[in-house]
Amino acid sequence: MTTGFFWDEKCFWHGGGNYAGMLPVGGLVQPMVGGGLPESPESKRRLMNLMDVTGLAGDLDMRHAPAATTEDLLRVHPASYLDTFKATSDAGGGELGRRTPFGPGGYEMAALSAGLSIAALQAVLKGELTNAYALSRPPGHHCLPDFPNGFCLLANLALAIQSARAKGLAQRVVVLDWDVHHGNGTEAIFYDDPDVLTISMHQDRNYPMDTGDFADRGRGKGAGFNLNIPLPPGTGHIGYLSTMERIVIPQVQAFKPDVIVIACGYDAAAIDPLGRMLATAQTFQVMTQQVKSLAEDLCGGRLMMAHEGGYSEVYVPFCGHHVIAEMAGSNIVAPDPFGDVFPLRQPTAAFDRFLDGLLGDMADAL
């Protein structure tokens, strides 16, 4: 088994300017030492550093990729948006949507980020790799065709899927988004499409606060092929695995995809500043086992992941290491430094009973 890892140093250079967390500096908002947007390069760079130190990088096929072409981008984004994005980028950067500031060269960095996802998916579909991970930055799952938001400037996974489909490499695709925030961009792009099953398991009413309802099931020919699973804050390890077993896995099995694609965010982790879900590195590892087994049973092992959110510079590297080692079947371990603590902070039995009932109601409604 060969696992590809797609990355580029230039993706780490994307920046959003002078922010203090989610707030632009100014007025009563004081600058932070080493501050900026939560979507910083450090969580991703430290993941790569950890893989180098443990030796996991040596078990991977490390690759670069060209930027997404204009032809690729036009499969999802209208020319008017791309032209405005490029002109703003060339003029030094700015803010085109909601919480998506970028600096000079932002257009080229976003196109490169999308290119990593495009190349990773195509390498899997062509049989060059068993599975692949794209360290895409900036992320993509919130980006609408003509409106960027939530740190996302281009719809990386949607672009990868549409490029692969245009080349005849796949037709039926499952997108499973386990980022803590609703994958509203991916949902919107495929909302009418019966050949792409989009599943988002996210913290209820986190971001965006006006999307992600269970009742939103698709439209027209795509009716029934969008599934939102809004979970309560504090869902935790057992809750995530139960959600996978009771809702996600049966839906994917029934759909019978050509490939499984994961929007792999780590912001459901226990100490993420933008989530409150109490997942652990082991949670992400076991979910990876589950989707890897699904892919082996349904579509010849074809599995691709793209990095989305995750804002704890301390913990994201360990969550990512657990996922990538599992994808590669590697026995190289980076022990979870919070492995003795986070299990003690999991939900109570009473909460688990409440969640069990909630998941039962969802399963009955499908």
- Catalytic residue of the set 14, 77, 141, 142: 142
Predicted confidence (pLDDT) at residue 34 exceeds the cutoff of 80: no
Domain membership of residue 24 (yes or no) is no
Domain membership of residue 29 (yes or no) is no
Of 333, 319, 324, the residue nearest 1 (C-alpha): 324
Active site residue 321: no
Predicted confidence (pLDDT) at residue 21 exceeds the cutoff of 90: no
Predicted confidence (pLDDT) at residue 197 exceeds the cutoff of 80: yes
Residue 175 CA to residue 226 CA, distance in Å, equals 10
First to last CA, the chain: 35
String of DSSP letters for 99-112? S-EE-TTHHHHHHH
Q: What are phi and psi of 23, to 5 degrees?
A: -110, 130
Residue 153 CA to residue 15 CA, distance in Å, equals 12
Higher-pLDDT residue of 30 and 252 is 252
Per residue in 121-153, pLDDT tens? 999 999 999 999 999 999 999 999 999 999 999
Is the distance from CB of 73 to CB of 95 less than 8 angstroms? no
Per residue in 284-318, pLDDT tens? 999 999 999 999 999 999 999 999 999 999 999 99
CA 21 to chain centre: 20
Task: Provide the residue type at 183 as one letter.
Answer: G
Report pLDDT for 46.
98
CA-to-CA dists, residue 192 to 169, 205, 220, angstroms: 21, 23, 6
Contacts of 359 (CB under 8 A, 6+ apart): 242, 243, 246, 247
Predicted confidence (pLDDT) at residue 327 exceeds the cutoff of 80: yes
Q: What is the CATH number of the domain that holds 129?
A: 3.40.800.20
Task: Provide the residue type at 254 as one letter.
Answer: A
Q: Span 74-90, mean pLDDT?
A: 98
Of 67, 269, 211, the residue nearest 153 (C-alpha): 67
DSSP code for 84: H
The upper half-sphere exposure of residue 202, i.e. CA atoms within 13 Å in the direction of its Cβ, equals 32
Q: Please give the tally of structural domains in the chain.
A: 1
DSSP code for 30: P
Predicted confidence (pLDDT) at residue 23 exceeds the cutoff of 90: no
In whole numbers, what is the pLDDT of the chain averaged over residues? 97
Residue 260 CA to residue 43 CA, distance in Å, equals 25
Report pLDDT for 1.
76
The upper half-sphere exposure of residue 115, i.e. CA atoms within 13 Å in the direction of its Cβ, equals 19
Please, which contacts does 122-128 make with residues 24 or more away whose CB atoms are closer than 8 Å?
A: 122/160, 122/163, 122/164, 122/167, 122/169, 123/4, 123/63, 124/4, 124/259, 124/302, 124/303, 124/304, 125/164, 125/169, 125/170, 125/258, 125/259, 125/302, 126/169, 128/2, 128/4
Per residue in 347-362, pLDDT tens? 999 999 999 999 999 9
Residue 250 CA to residue 254 CA, distance in Å, equals 6
Torsion angle of C-alpha atoms 36, 40, 200, 162, degrees rounded to 10? 120
Supply the range of the domain harboring residue 107.
Answer: 3-11+38-365
Domain membership of residue 129 (yes or no) is yes
Report pLDDT for 36.
83
Residue 300 CA to residue 97 CA, distance in Å, equals 39
In the chain, % of residues over pLDDT 90: 93
Predicted confidence (pLDDT) at residue 320 exceeds the cutoff of 80: yes
Reported in sequence order, the residue ranges of 172-265 that DSSP labels E, i.e. its strands, are: 173-177, 196-203, 226-231, 259-264
Per residue in 251-291, pLDDT tens? 999 999 999 999 999 999 999 999 999 999 999 999 999 99
Domain membership of residue 228 (yes or no) is yes
Q: Span 322-337, mean pLDDT?
A: 98
Report pLDDT for 252.
98
Q: Span 63-86, mean pLDDT?
A: 98
Report pLDDT for 221.
98
Domain membership of residue 26 (yes or no) is no
Contacts of 346 (CB under 8 A, 6+ apart): 236, 237, 238, 278
